[in-house]
Structure 1
Amino acid sequence: MTNYETLQQATAEHRQWLLETPVIQRALSGDITKAPYLAFLEQAYHHVKQTVPLMMACGARLPERLEWLRGALVEYIEEEYGHQAWILDDIRALGGDPDATASARPAPATELMVRYVRDVIAHDNPIGFFGMVHVLEGTSTAIATQAAEQIRQGANLPADAFRYLESHGSLDVGHLAFFEEQINRLEDPADLQAIIDTANMVYRLYGAMFRNLERDAGSQSSHEELGHALV
């Protein structure tokens, strides 16, 4: 079994929990309104804008034995830079307020996801960052393009409000193949385990982010919402 196959197997349960999120299932069937899609974009902005800083932090802390992986990160950074601007354009096309999104604080699950990965990089094994890559890009290739089409048709939304989802659905197919190649080059089992552990945590936090999109903000505190979403 390759490293990538091991990673897929070790994270399958948490991946399924994410994909079974009700709002994701409704999006894939076209049974969704503009509000949760806009809420998704608002949260996506806050973790996407951290992607490049997290990559740079990871690259700075990788040991010399993983110099080849640092080189791969350089290439990846060039492709990922500035994608949060696409999200703001989508928000604007939906009639939302991109400036308010950019200045707002992210929801608890979104903030915790970014902070967790940052902590793994700084205080644990920096290669754990690739667990987040595995979750976000794997989820994107699985549902992004299909979801974009279904949401647009189901909610009758403007075509120019889907640049982020549509671009990442196809773009991340190539990224995922590149990611698999890098993961399979790892030789230390501890490195693979760090990626698995981070991926499983990110699956839970990313899933919690989705589970909170349609919750009534006035019915319970944000911390209560997060607690329920993680169960």
Structure 2
Amino acid sequence: MDVSARLRTKLLLLEPEFRGATTQMWRSEGLLERYQTYLCTMHAVIRASVPLMELALRRMADRPGDPLSEPLTVYLAEHIQEEAEHDAWLLEDLRAAGAAPEDALGPLPPPDVAALVGPQYYWIEHHHPVTLLGYIAVLEGYAPAPGLTDRIGRLTGLPAAALRTVREHAALDAGHLDELYALLDRLPLTRDQEAAVAVSALHSFDALTRLFVRLGRSAPAPSLRGAGPIPPTGVTR
């Protein structure tokens, strides 16, 4: 069994709880307010993506004799370009959804965001940058489903301009995930390194599930309460 197949098998064990959390998150009741809160929360997550990869690149440069150095460096450099400005998409979506970018930029990121993103900084600095691949596998392997954009637009009356991030990631992330799994299968990983990637992925999946549980249960932030959809010009149906 390939490295990627072993990782997929491990992640399958956590899928039922994640699916339950996302089902609750995307239910129709109160979806507009939850979607605005979702955009703020995902901005806090996604704005760390490029800095994490840049940090991993710098730490790989400190390992010139590492057999993972060349393929991992090439992958990270390319993926940084692919993920650039995605945090800006979320701010644009938030504005189009009737809220303000300051709702995402001002508050302290929630603890569940730090629990998802923070361990990656530690493992890159104090173990090995390859652990980041487990985190990437989860974020891209459990991206929005292709039909989610239409559902959000239909239930909230929001225009297509408010749904760019969900729409683009539903289209892009399947291809990105295939590239990542192909990389994992050709990297000369030791058993310990493969285990580290798996630990990173399993922790990330659990933390992402906890984040969606909170989103599904929480009321909108005070600054978002009562924010209605903008007029239905160009509504996605």
CA distance 1:28–1:217, change in 2 (3 Å): closer
Q: Which has the higher helix share?
A: 1
Match of 2:130 in 1: 127
Task: Give yes or no for the alignment of 1:197 onto 2:193.
Answer: no
Structure-2 separation of matches of 1:29 and 1:215 = 11
Structure-1 separation of matches of 2:162 and 2:206 = 27
Match of 1:2 in 2: 2
> How big is each residue's C-alpha offset from its partner over 1:160-212, in whole Å with a ceiling of 9 and x where there is no partner?
11100100111112111111110101222222111110111111111111111
CA distance 1:152–1:217, change in 2 (3 Å): closer
- Give the partner amino acid of 2:215: L
Task: Give yes or no for the alignment of 1:53 onto 2:54.
Answer: no
- Give the partner amino acid of 1:190: D
> How far 1:38 sits from its partner (Å)?
1.0
Structure 2 unpaired stretches of 5+: 221-237
Contact 2:72-2:130 within 8 A present in 1 as well = no
CA distance 1:29–1:99, change in 2 (3 Å): closer
Aligned-residue Cα RMSD (Å) equals: 1.8
Structure-2 separation of matches of 1:133 and 1:33 = 27
Greater Cα radius of gyration, structure 1 or 2: 2
Contact 2:34-2:219 within 8 A present in 1 as well = no
Structure-2 separation of matches of 1:105 and 1:97 = 16
> How big is each residue's C-alpha offset from its partner over 1:11-36, in whole Å with a ceiling of 9 and x where there is no partner?
21123321221xx2146665552011
Match of 2:14 in 1: 14
> How big is each residue's C-alpha offset from its partner over 1:129-151, in whole Å with a ceiling of 9 and x where there is no partner?
111101100011xx333222211
Contact 2:116-2:204 within 8 A present in 1 as well = yes
Match of 1:117 in 2: 120
* Residue range with higher mean Cα deviation, 98-107 or 159-168: 98-107
Match of 2:81 among 78, 83, 87: 78
Task: Give yes or no for the alignment of 1:166 onto 2:132.
Answer: no
Match of 1:150 in 2: 151
Contact 2:25-2:213 within 8 A present in 1 as well = no
Structure-2 separation of matches of 1:15 and 1:120 = 24
- Give the partner amino acid of 1:210: F
Contact 1:90-1:164 within 8 A present in 2 as well = yes
- Give the partner amino acid of 2:175: G
Contact 2:25-2:215 within 8 A present in 1 as well = no
> How big is each residue's C-alpha offset from its partner over 1:89-147, in whole Å with a ceiling of 9 and x where there is no partner?
0000111111231122111101221111111111122211111101100011xx33322
- Give the partner amino acid of 1:74: A
CA distance 1:54–1:26, change in 2 (3 Å): same
> How far 1:85 sits from its partner (Å)?
0.5
Q: Which runs of 4+ in 1 moved over 4 A?
A: 26-32
Match of 1:104 in 2: 107
TM-score normalised according to structure 1 size = 0.86
Percent identical residues = 27
Structure 1 unpaired stretches of 5+: 219-231
Contact 1:26-1:32 within 8 A present in 2 as well = no
| Secondary structure of 2:146's aligned partner | helix
Structure-2 separation of matches of 1:16 and 1:135 = 14
CA distance 1:217–1:149, change in 2 (3 Å): closer
